[in-house]
Structure 1
Amino acid sequence: MELSYWDAKAALDWQIELGIDEAIGDETVDRYALEPARPAEAAPTAAPAAAPGEDQRPATPPLPVVEKVDAIALARQAAAGVADLGALARAMETFDHCQLKAGARSFVFCDGNPDARLMIVGEAPGRDEDRLGRPFVGRAGQLLDRMLAAIGMARDATDAERAVYITNVLPWRPPENRKPEKAEIGMFLPFLEAHIALARPELLILMGNTPCEALLGRAGITRLRGQWTEVLGVPALPMFHPAYLLRQPQAKREAWADLLDIQARLRGSH
């Protein structure tokens, strides 16, 4: 049945209201089909025609291959080439394979006297440390200073006999002071080992679980504390972190016993 002019117009108006604004032929159009070849004088060499039934869409280009970076191997290379503490600090600060660097304010390398007989290894910078660029300067650091003073030691002492040298496993603050991840610890372990080798302390204190995980491969500070071990040929003693002592004051008795043990070792090594 033929449509009248007015019926055809009404049908067209209805389609426009539905949003149909393009005329479509009786047969479907393959929009992915190859374009017709250009005139011979301007066209490049034509590709062979696809066989009937074959997919005529152009092949999707392969995704670029992203080479995986072995950050730990690169850290070993960077740490192996340092000759002194200044070079080590520069190598660590310019090491760009740790995402913590992007969110931190300050690079926190060390504090105290590098000639000290006693070296302390903590976990990572906190908010105050990130702000000031020095390790152990918040409430936990203030408690640490009082603990050291009780056995006649101080980070600001110029005399190597009474001085203390302090660093952390990580030089960058983890977000929200979260515990460092294993990959982050492994990434900075070569730098930490180089740090200890260059400082050459007589005794090491491993403050908390993270230094124990990094240098001993073990965790569980309540079991490890008070038991002397060895790290890179240096006598080392795991101790409670001062932040833990602030939360658990009853553990200060064990910490005091560890401090007296350290004092005895330092006096007995003369």
Structure 2
Amino acid sequence: MLRCWRQHYVDLLTSVSHLALLLIGIQFGRPDVWQWCLGLVALVSGLAWVANYRRVRAIADLPTSRINSAAQGYVELYGRALTDPEHLIVSPFSALRCVWYRYKVYRKHGHHGWRLEHQGVSHETFIMTDGNGQCFVDPDHAEVMGAERRVTYQADYKRVEEILFGGSIYVLGELTTVGGANTPLNPREDVSALLAEWKQDKANLLQRFDLDGNGEIDLKEWELARRAAAREVEKQHREWRATAGVHVIRAPADGRIFLLSSLSPQRLRQQYQCWSWVHLLILIVAIGAFFWVGEHPW
């Protein structure tokens, strides 16, 4: 579930946790409490810095691939999501055509604030193109950046939608090509299956391979049938491999970062880099304050 959190939400949550810890330190005002709070601030910022730095390196280290010539595996793609109505879905509350959405519905509970009632996310694949080829994008478990956020209120309910529209799209994930030259084939099994199919039509089998007309297929005649089946399977395999495969990019099976964004790779890298510097600065300040409090108790 953590994989589908948007990273800037995590950054904002860490900022809130920093503020809460500082308020606890101010409230108690004791050096030991301050050290505990500063230590936790340093720990949270350290983890957030590592998370953002990993994303900076993932984006910077991978060159942008062209869809039709991309290697199988972990790749970076940048292009445009198709915007014709046939390839778009509709967001549940705004009724806007888009390629991806996520929503949350909150209900107000008196002085206790907003409580989450239910939530959902789209699972439909969409098509992106880069002028070189087309690729299906499976958004399940993606960390989505650059989505438009819309908030509406009705009576005691608050509805929050995140919508990713068609147009510029950046994807960092695992590319697999289904069909075409990458089709896994087993000639032996296919020949056996074809011969079993021919056996179901005995009359046609005898007409084709009963050379001596005795109404039976002997070993020599069966060998001729097997060779004919092998030639037919070989021809079929050549035709399958000559067809264009279908490219699909999805969440990596090994748990690596899966990013989906309307931002360019340069702008996305800058955002993560900015947050990484912020968390690194907080980490350094928190560690310095931790030791200062230890040396200057009051």
- Relative to the length of structure 1, the TM-score reads 0.19
Bigger RCO (CA 8 Å, 6+ sep): 2
Larger radius of gyration: 1
Decide which structure has greater helix share. 2
TM-score (norm. length: structure 2):
0.17
